[in-house]
Amino acid sequence: MSLRIKWESGVLIEHKDTKIILDPYSRSLNHRAALVTHAHLDHSHAFKVNHILKFSSEETGELVALDGISRIDRWRPIREGERITIDDIEVTPHSSGHVLGSYEFEIITPEGTILFTGDLNTREHRTVRPAEPVQCDVLIIESTFGSPDFVFPPDETIAKDIVDWASKVLSAGKIPVFQADSLGNAQEVIRVFNENTTIPIVSHRRISRVNRVYEMHGYRMEYIDMEDERAHELISNRNAVIVAPKRLDLSFRTDYVSALVSGWALKFRRKSFPLSDHADFPNLMEFIGRCRPKIVLTYHGGRHNSILAKYVEKKLKIRAYPIDLIPTRFQSKISYF
């Protein structure tokens, strides 16, 4: 009996009659169960499909519920390190270091062990513990920044740049606005200011509701919601930093100066800071080496899938290719396409 791994609008893992789908984004799901790594929209589609059994962290379920999914059916929250059994397959989640409640899944089958990373970050962050390398036979790894062009400066340097820039904008009589992903980077920016300054933070409504979930899970966030009266006063006194969602159009506010917070900053022309909740290229290579896999399947990185795979083969001497290139079969001792 072999293990089959295939790209099918998500990552399909098939052993005997058991089919498990990881972070699917199709609605026609006839699998035994879905594993959801985290609440970002491109990973959590399974929550929109009532009939499928889904596993994720408690935090992921709570964050997904913010998007108006009022009733979540057939959802089973699992704790980090907990082991669940789906037929012959055992699944254990570990932290993936990306955002609140994000998991990588260790999937143990009679033919071998798979590690599926979802989105991954191996650097120490303020609101999430780094991803843990797990020894495995097949590593399915995201490759968002899977190209040598992406090497982030040390997190502390970026944090310092963020604070310095905001102070400069404030002294010029304007309001600094950081536009960041509402889940993950926004909370990191808030913590950067909370830890290093006394500047009040004004948080956009869409970010405040995510902050509340972080707070419920023990992360301290000091901020004032934008709808609060005090926020207007702070803004008119030029005594606040605003944290707002990425795609919000703020060009009509002449008193605002905005900057983007994203790993893609390295490619942007406008003011931006490369604070990221993803691993950069050296982080990815190191993580792969530490998992000691026999095969690496890259995914979620567009053209970076093949770039990362090429480097893994060349530098780490491990067989690697993009997951959607060809289905993979794996058997305890031998592996073949």
Residues found near Zn ion in the complex (CB under 5 A): 40, 42, 119
Supply the minimum distance, in Å, between the C-beta of residue 95 and Zn ion. 14
Asked if residues 244 and 207 have their Cβ atoms less than 8 Å apart, the reply is: yes
Least separation in angstroms between residue 98's CB and Zn ion is: 5
Tokens encoding 72: 């979540």
- In the complex, minimum distance from the CB of residue 81 to Zn ion, in angstroms, rounded to a whole number: 21
- C-beta of 322: minimal distance to Zn ion in Å? 16
In the complex with Zn ion, the residue whose CB is nearer, 62 or 119, is: 119
In angstroms, give the least distance from the CB of 102 to Zn ion: 7
| CA torsion angle 110 112 118 123 (round to 10) | 130
Q: C-beta of 172: minimal distance to Zn ion in Å?
A: 34
Of 214, 218, 234, 215, the closest CA to residue 226 belongs to 234
Residue 85, number of CB atoms within 10 A of its CB = 9
Our CB check for Zn ion shows the closer of 281 and 330 to be: 281
Q: How far is Cα 97 from Cα 314, in angstroms, rounded to an integer?
A: 27
Using left for φ > 0, alpha for ψ between -120 and 50, and beta otherwise, residue 23 falls in left
63 vs 192, beta carbon nearer Zn ion = 63
Find, among 91, 80, 166, the residue nearest to 128 by Cα.
80
Q: Which is nearer to Zn ion, 58 or 88 (CB)?
A: 58
Q: Which is nearer to Zn ion, 137 or 181 (CB)?
A: 181
CB closer to Zn ion, 119 vs 137: 119
From the list 226, 191, 229, the residue with the least C-alpha distance to 209 is 226
- How far apart CA 310 and CA 147 sit, in angstroms, is 10
